[in-house]
Amino acid sequence: MKVNLIMVMAAELCGRKDLSEYLTGKSAENLGEAERDTESLLRCYNLTENEIALDYLPLRKTETLVSDGKILYTAFEKSPLEIESVRKSDGSKLPFRIAEDGVCTQAGEVSVTYTYRPSVKAREDEAELDRKGDARLMALGTACEFSLMNGMFDAASLLDKRYRDALACACRDRSGRMKMRSWI
């Protein structure tokens, strides 16, 4: 799903029909304000995607690479955050050690599973969190952040509850990790 569609959903959740219409290609009364709000909403989208991927539902990738005893981090398609496993071509696990500049493991062809940080998106990019229900989750988180940034605290409070509930469901469904709530 395109980031722009998630931004449209987020604008509607905030009650910003004018911004939603601008994002779908209609003209705005105040073009400067609409462009500022669009940039702010995109920033909120990137913050939300980063929060979800780093704290709750990690983005995983498995790559088959050739090792000479060490696989440099630059050899990976995405920059790894955490190496989860290294396996032989037959699927058996291999021991590995994390080094400053790469992953030390047995020489040969190996499959490495790792988590990575989502890239910063533009409106026309595809969302990296793309499972069923992720668009709604992303829209709720983006709308909540946008409401907070724009001083709409009542809306932000309601959106935060809906976002946290959707996040808890997504974590439960995909065995993600949900941080414990704490009393302040």
Cα 162 to Cα 177: distance, rounded to the nearest angstrom: 18
pLDDT number for residue 171: 86
**pTM for the whole structure:** 0.84
Distances (CA, A) of 168 to 52, 129, 177: 11, 15, 9
Nearest to 148 by CA among 10, 35, 31, 50: 10
pLDDT in tens, 18-71: 999 999 998 878 888 999 999 999 999 999 999 999 999 999 999 999 999 999
Cα 10 to Cα 72: distance, rounded to the nearest angstrom: 39
pLDDT in tens, 136-158: 999 999 999 999 999 999 999 99
Cα 178 to Cα 180: distance, rounded to the nearest angstrom: 6
- The answer to whether residues 3 and 48 touch, using CB atoms and an 8 Å cutoff, is no
Q: Where are the domains of the chain?
A: 3-57+129-174, 59-116
